[in-house]
Amino acid sequence: MNKNKYYINMGTQEISLNHDANNDDFVVFATEEEIIKIREIFDEVYNSDMRSFFRAHIPAMPYHQDQDNDDYDVELKSAFRMIHDLGDEMTREHIEQMKILED
């Protein structure tokens, strides 16, 4: 298994082999298959976010009773968990300080 260094920007959901100005929120060392899995998780985060956007325009449905928002939270946490597991020391420490993986 050959692992490469990747730079991840959570805001834009960018995954890159090249370090650019603002794409280094997190650094991971991953195989191509692991990066594909992160990309799939990001796709699910995006899909949940889009469904939540449309749901937000229905005033009769409260936020706290919205499965799309719950799905978004679960997928985002899943992305952070995988990035933590594959990350360098700074990435792992940063995510741990965020306390996003605590239940």
What is the chain's pLDDT, residue by residue, as a tens digit (103 residues)? Answer: 799 999 999 988 999 999 887 877 899 999 999 999 999 999 999 998 888 877 777 777 666 677 877 888 899 999 999 999 999 999 999 999 999 998 6
The alpha carbon torsion through 94, 102, 3, 36 (nearest 10 deg) reads: -110
Determine phi and psi for 81, rounding to 5 degrees.
-65, -45
What is the rounded CA–CA span in Å between residue 79 and residue 46? 12
Q: Percentage of residues in the chain with pLDDT exceeding 90?
A: 61
* Residue 84, amino acid: H
Q: Which of 77, 67, 72, 83 is nearest to 28 (CA)?
A: 83
Token digits for 60? 């009769």
